[in-house]
Amino acid sequence: MTDSNLLRCTRCGRIAAELDKFCAECGLFLRDAAVDQRLLLALVHEREGRSQEARHELERLLTGEPGHVLANHLLGNLHFHDGLLDQAAEYYRKAVAAAPSFLLGHYDLGVAYYHRGDMPRAAKAFRRCLEIDPNYNAAHYRLGLALFHNGELDEAREHFELSLALTPEYLMAHYHLGIIHERQGEYEAAAREFERSLEESSGDVSSLYHLALVRDAQGDHAAASDLRRRARGFAKSQPVGAK
């Protein structure tokens, strides 16, 4: 144990062993101070871009306190940002197991499952978010996405609409609503949603492309041709590698 890891009892001054919960000299409870120190140090490392050091501190903290909610959640975030989705999900699950109403933990677990391609589990996690807070707009949107990709279009539409009722500026919710209406043959409703999704970004290629398909389906081939021209012009204007 290095000097930086020594824990001194604040009551009697005795140096404690690393995993001691109580001071052997006077009986003072020690664990909370050690946990807080490690968590704060991990946060400093994480914010300053030293993810390896942050992971090390969190892993050491969890050795003694395996059910620590914030440590598990932060370690999950670090793994997620490194693209280690299975490991991230494991730590998020530990966090919500220890704190079943931890809203952000359930949300991040759903995001990890979503990026893993596990839409049923993602949907389950986002549903749990909405059980905790029915007005959590981001969870409505993410649940809509998971249901959309799982082919459950009617319920996906319901959650996209709820997300827009709570946060009208969610332009991508308009885009996905447009796709659902398009697939269900509701072309005028689809056109309205694609046009709304273009309000803040008049050159979005996907919305322009799908709006062109809708105009073709409605027989307005001149409008469809103009939309495709706009889409091509926007795509050419983007730098290489732009998303």
**180: Cα separation from own chain's centroid:** 23
Single-letter code of the amino acid located at 202:
S
The whole-model pTM stands at 0.76
pLDDT value at position 242?
40
DSSP state of 239: P
Q: Are 76 and 111 in contact (CB under 8 A)?
A: no
In order along the chain (243 residues), what is the average pLDDT of each group of 10 residues? 53 64 59 59 65 76 80 90 94 94 96 97 98 96 97 96 92 93 94 88 79 93 92 64 39
DSSP state of 22: B
Strand ranges (E), the chain? 7-8, 15-16
Single-letter code of the amino acid located at 21:
K
> Which ranges of 48-170 does DSSP label H, i.e. alpha helix?
51-64, 69-81, 85-98, 103-116, 119-132, 137-149, 153-166
